[in-house]
């Protein structure tokens, strides 16, 4: 029988070949490479969105704008859930900086409601972002979501790159239009990431990466002023919205009333948080150690065949329970020391 062409041969799932132990080891190494590096849990993530005429392109149906709005609406609440001590801000940019928003309850539809027009100036967006973030003591990151394949700038990038390095600002790019050498070189120079989504599901997956803090390689450490406010169960006017509320939180420094947590005190700029918010951040300060491979036994939770074992309590877990413990709980449910 004559040799078959490759497209005539039987379909093979080559990515599933190899011992299962090697796959488990690769997963464990990936978890360890993330967990063992130092993180900055108090972050300022500043998202720059390209609102030039390119935002209304229909390369990703129905348009870039519609898909960006959908992705950001999903991203914002998840970000604050995972990073209760962090700050999220937005800047829309075309040839100039259009709108800056740093409110927790941002309306994405209103923020990106204007019709895209003119061209995109990356330099103006970066310079505006540096001015916003330069005095922050947080771990500073800029995420640029861009749909343009070109940028018109008044001068070069040498000065703004020097400022970003001086202020330890990382710049990440999500380029919806494909790979652009300028965007990639800036992200590399600032130790940021560069991503080109192949579809909108991939775009959402890329956005989900920014739920978790990136590695912090700096040597300069800063103290953050954090206050634990008292709960007031009586009508009062909140300083953040100037509205009457039936309950609130009193700043321990200046006695200002606010209506939600976490928030910066409008008067003394103290970061007001609850003890629950602080405890949620322990998953990044004290990450759960990856479990080791186990070839025999049953899962201690669901009773099916196990693949992993906790070295602290010697309990075994299946792949799904291991993913749930490390990805959601971030502590072992059987260990006396939950962060072993």
pLDDT value for 11:
64
CA distance 168 to 271: 21
Spatial separation of the C-alpha atoms in residues 97 and 129, rounded to whole Å: 9
Does residue 330 have a pLDDT over 80? no
Q: What is the pLDDT of residue 61?
A: 82
Confidence check: pLDDT of 133 > 70: yes
pLDDT of 143 strictly over 90: yes
Mean pLDDT over 123-140 rounds to 89
Q: What is the pLDDT of residues 273-324, one digit of tens each?
A: 887 777 667 766 677 788 888 877 889 888 888 888 988 888 999 988 988 8
Whether this prediction's pTM lies above 0.85 is answered by no
CB atoms within 10 A of CB 162: 10
Mean model confidence pLDDT for the chain: 83
The rounded distance, in Å, linking the Cα atoms of 56 and 54 is 5
Across 51-121, the runs of DSSP E, i.e. the strands, are 87-93, 97-101
pLDDT at 82 over 70: yes
- CA nearest neighbour of 265 among 275, 250, 277, 276: 250
The pairing of beta strand 271-272 with beta strand 263-264: antiparallel
Mean pLDDT of 48-73: 88
How many angstroms from the chain centroid is the CA of residue 140? 12
Query: What's the pLDDT at 9?
Result: 67
Of 70, 50, 69, 46, nearest to 135 by C-alpha is 46
Residues of the chain with pLDDT > 70, as a percent, come to: 83
Q: What is the pLDDT of residue 128?
A: 93
**Unique residue bearing structure tokens 């602290």:** 312
DSSP labels for 7-36? GGSPP--GGG-S-HHHHHHHHHHHHHHHHT
Place of tokens 């739920």: 211
What average pLDDT score do residues 119-133 get?
Answer: 92
The 8-class DSSP code of residue 325 comes to I
* 161-208 pLDDT tens trace: 999 999 989 999 999 988 999 999 999 999 999 999 998 889 999 999
pLDDT band at 81 (very low <50, low <70, confident <90, very high): confident
Only one residue has tokens 């505006």, namely 128
According to DSSP H, which parts of 119-236 are helical? 122-133, 158-166, 181-189, 200-209
pLDDT in tens, 91-113: 999 888 888 888 777 888 888 87
**End-to-end Cα distance, the chain:** 61
Instruction: Considering only the C-alpha atoms of the chain, give the largest distance between any 2 of them, rounded to a whole number of Å.
Output: 87
**Residue 49, pLDDT score:** 94
Which pLDDT value is given to residue 18? Answer: 54
Average pLDDT over every residue of 217-237: 81
* Higher pLDDT pick, 40 / 27: 40
- Please, is 18 exposed, middle or buried when counting C-beta atoms within 10 Å of its C-beta (0-12, 13-18, 19+)? exposed
Band of the pLDDT at 249, cuts 50, 70, 90?
very high
CA 315 to chain centre: 32
Three-state secondary structure call for residue 134: coil
**CA angle at 281 for the pair 186 and 84, rounded to the nearest 5°:** 75
Our CA dihedral for 193, 198, 203, 207, rounded to 10 degrees, sits at -20
**Is residue 20's pLDDT more than 80?**
no
Write the burial class of residue 171 (CB in 10 Å: 0-12 exposed, 13-18 middle, 19+ buried).
buried
- In whole angstroms, what is the distance from residue 227 CA to residue 236 CA? 20
Partner residues linked to 91 by β-bridges: 48, 100
Domains of the chain, start order: 43-209 (3.40.50.410), 226-280 (no CATH), 288-329 (3.30.40)
pLDDT at residue 38, as a whole number? 64
């Amino acid at each position: 029988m004559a040799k078959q062409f490759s497209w005539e041969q039987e379909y093979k799932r080559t990515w599933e070949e190899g011992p299962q132990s090697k796959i488990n080891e690769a997963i464990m190494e990936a978890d360890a490479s993330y967990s063992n590096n130092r993180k900055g849990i108090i972050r300022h993530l500043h998202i720059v969105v390209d609102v030039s005429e390119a935002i209304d392109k229909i390369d990703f149906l129905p348009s870039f704008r519609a898909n960006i709005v959908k992705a950001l609406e999903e991203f914002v609440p998840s970000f604050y859930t995972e990073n209760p001590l962090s700050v999220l801000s937005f800047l829309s940019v075309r040839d100039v900086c259009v709108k800056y928003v740093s409110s927790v309850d941002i309306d994405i539809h209103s923020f990106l409601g204007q019709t895209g027009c003119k061209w995109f100036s990356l330099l103006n967006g970066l310079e505006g972002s540096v001015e916003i973030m330069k005095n922050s003591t947080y771990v500073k990151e800029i995420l640029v979501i861009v749909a343009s394949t070109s940028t018109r700038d008044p001068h070069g990038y040498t000065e703004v790159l020097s400022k970003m390095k001086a202020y330890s600002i990382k710049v990440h790019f999500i380029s919806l239009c494909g790979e652009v050498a300028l965007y990639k070189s800036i992200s590399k120079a600032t130790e940021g990431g560069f991503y080109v989504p192949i579809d909108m599901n991939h775009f959402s997956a890329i956005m989900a990466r920014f739920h978790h803090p990136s590695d912090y390689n700096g040597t300069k450490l800063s103290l953050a002023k954090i206050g634990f406010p008292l709960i007031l169960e009586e009508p009062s006017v909140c300083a953040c919205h100037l509205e009457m509320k039936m309950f609130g939180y009193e700043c321990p420094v200046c006695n200002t009333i606010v209506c939600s947590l976490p928030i910066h005190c409008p008067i003394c700029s103290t970061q007001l948080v609850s003890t629950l918010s602080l405890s949620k951040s322990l998953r990044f300060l004290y990450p759960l150690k990856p479990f080791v491979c186990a070839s025999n036994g049953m899962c201690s939770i669901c009773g099916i065949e196990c693949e992993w074992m906790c070295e602290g309590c010697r309990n075994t877990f299946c792949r799904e329970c291991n993913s749930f413990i490390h990805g959601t709980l971030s502590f072992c449910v059987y260990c006396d020391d939950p962060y072993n």
